[in-house]
């Protein structure tokens, strides 16, 4: 799925959740960024077909898209009832909360450490159970706590436990970003025994650690097959 369509689907979902009444197709075309209803018949028909595809896609995902009409009009409209779509409250057992806190300590890179700690503080502030015997976290905790505030280990009673997988390879961050953005990348890669690196063009699936080393798994476009690349053997920049 293209990023443009994903953004349009998110905009459509948020728009339909933000109203209690049924929105007509014309109103949706005017309100949702990403739609262009057009001025002539052909452009409007193209917009209607796009909306029908998006509507069916949301329903296939299990999003409860409701069809109906308001009392003052007879044109069919659409909405998403918050009560039907809202996620239930997250409740963690003490063991689950402890495992989650321990997992966040795995990340030693600055780009991932801060979001992980912030997420745990939000869980603790919402009353999530911490490690056995400590009870729920402080409800007044600030998710944006300044330096020196309790970290995830202290919040969950896990101080002293330190699982670590260091990511020293320069290719780690750009490869991880490419996975998140679903973006193909190219990079020079030297296999064992080769005197010179060869360029690889890869659609990345994931970045994983095995026996203390980091790897990129993905589809090698030039070979037309799945491949795994050890990040320490990437000899130059990772480029889109």
As given in the structure block, the two tokens for residue 108 are 């030693």
Say yes or no to pLDDT of 92 above 90.
no
In 105-204, which ranges are continuous DSSP H helix? 110-125, 152-155, 172-181
3-85 adopts what CATH topology?
Arc Repressor Mutant, subunit A (1.10.10)
**How far is C-alpha 214 from the chain's CA centre?**
21
On whether the CB atoms of residues 81 and 116 are closer than 8 A, the answer is: no
Helices (H), strands (E): how many in the chain? 8, 7
Residues 127-136: tens digit of each pLDDT: 665 444 334 4
Q: What's the rounded mean pLDDT across residues 156-167?
A: 57
pTM for the model:
0.43
In the chain, what are the domain boundaries?
3-85, 94-155, 172-233
């Amino acid at each position: 799925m293209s990023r443009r369509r994903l953004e349009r689907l998110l905009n459509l979902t948020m728009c339909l959740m933000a109203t209690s009444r049924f929105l007509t197709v014309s109103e949706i075309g005017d309100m949702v960024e990403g739609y262009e209803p057009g001025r002539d018949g052909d452009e409007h028909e193209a917009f209607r077909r796009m909306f029908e595809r998006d509507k069916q896609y949301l329903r296939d995902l299990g999003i409860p898209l409701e069809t109906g009409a308001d009392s003052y009009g007879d044109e069919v409209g659409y909405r998403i009832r918050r009560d039907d779509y809202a996620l239930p409250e997250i409740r963690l057992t003490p063991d689950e909360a402890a495992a989650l806190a321990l997992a966040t300590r795995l990340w030693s890179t600055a780009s991932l450490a801060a979001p992980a700690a912030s997420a745990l503080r939000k869980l603790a502030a919402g009353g999530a159970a911490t490690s056995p015997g400590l009870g729920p976290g402080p409800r007044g905790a600030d998710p944006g706590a300044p330096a020196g505030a309790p970290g995830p280990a202290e919040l969950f009673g896990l101080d002293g436990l330190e699982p670590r997988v260091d990511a020293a390879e320069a290719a780690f961050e750009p490869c991880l970003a490419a996975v998140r953005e679903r973006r193909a990348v190219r990079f020079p890669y030297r296999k064992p025994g080769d005197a010179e690196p060869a360029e690889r063009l890869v659609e990345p699936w994931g970045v994983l650690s095995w026996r203390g080393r980091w790897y990129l798994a993905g589809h090698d476009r030039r070979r037309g097959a799945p491949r795994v690349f050890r990040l320490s053997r990437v000899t130059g920049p990772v480029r889109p």
